[in-house]
Amino acid sequence: MSSKSPETYVHKRWIVRHAFTKQAEGNVDNRIVDTDEQTQTALDTEMEGSRVAASGYPSNYNAWSHRIWTVKALARCSAEVLESELENTKSWVRQHVSDHSGLQYRQFLLSEHRQKCLLEEHLLKEFQFLDDLLISYPGHEALWNHRRALYHLAVQSQEGLGHQTEELSTENASVKSSLTGLEDPIEPLGAGSLVEENKSHTGEGEGVRLTSINEMVNPLLEKKRALAILEETSTSDSKIQERHYKLYIQWLDRFKT
């Protein structure tokens, strides 16, 4: 089956569930086999498989949706796995800046942080990361759509709704987030949380452009940051970047109105 086919990932999930299920003799009920080693092995296997599939097929929505399922069902959205995935997928995003699905996966990772302070910390870092991408790779619609999603998520965080995000607004209505884009419900499998939830997160070496979530959600300051990105764009790429910039400013003006 194709690595882009939905049926492929439905079957993969069935295999994972089957591996974690032991049929009790004479009983139709399934019992979960609970071992840390089995969970970690399955997690590593599914993560690597979805990475290869996503790299082989542009905007492979089904591969990224399967990765979301893996994080939920096997890693149980543990804080360490969420943070590790945010870091580990950075290089992939740099090499696939037009891939909406990969960026939507990062939106999912951010939205799953239960602690508001952690969510806001990572939102600040993601905005900084995105600033660099927009300057280095100008004119990519996926990056500007990602900025809309981050801004929306930041506002929801301020309102105490960060974890309830199901769909993030974009200028292009056809581009939707994968936060809940799985075709079957998530039931945690295997061992309990693979990692400790309270490990501290070390900062990155990049320069800080934002110092608080309040700055991030201030529309006037956000317009200034977007303009600064446009002004740093090379002349050869300025026209298409300016078009995306103008659409983004229009979106900001309409946001929550």
Q: Is 65 helix (H, G, I), strand (E, B) or coil?
A: helix
Q: Encode pLDDT of 139-161 as tens digits.
A: 999 999 999 999 999 999 888 75
Whether the model clears a pTM of 0.85, i.e. scores above it, the answer is: no
pLDDT score, position 34:
52
Helix (H) / strand (E) containing 224: helix 219-231
pLDDT score, position 81:
94
For residues 219-235, give the mean pLDDT. 93
pLDDT score, position 41:
87
Q: In Å, how far from its chain's centre is CA 237?
A: 27
Q: Is 32 helix (H, G, I), strand (E, B) or coil?
A: strand
Q: Encode pLDDT of 24-60 as tens digits.
A: 344 444 444 456 778 888 889 999 999 999 988 888 9
For residues 109-138, give the mean pLDDT. 92
pLDDT above 50 for 191: no
The residue type at 30: N
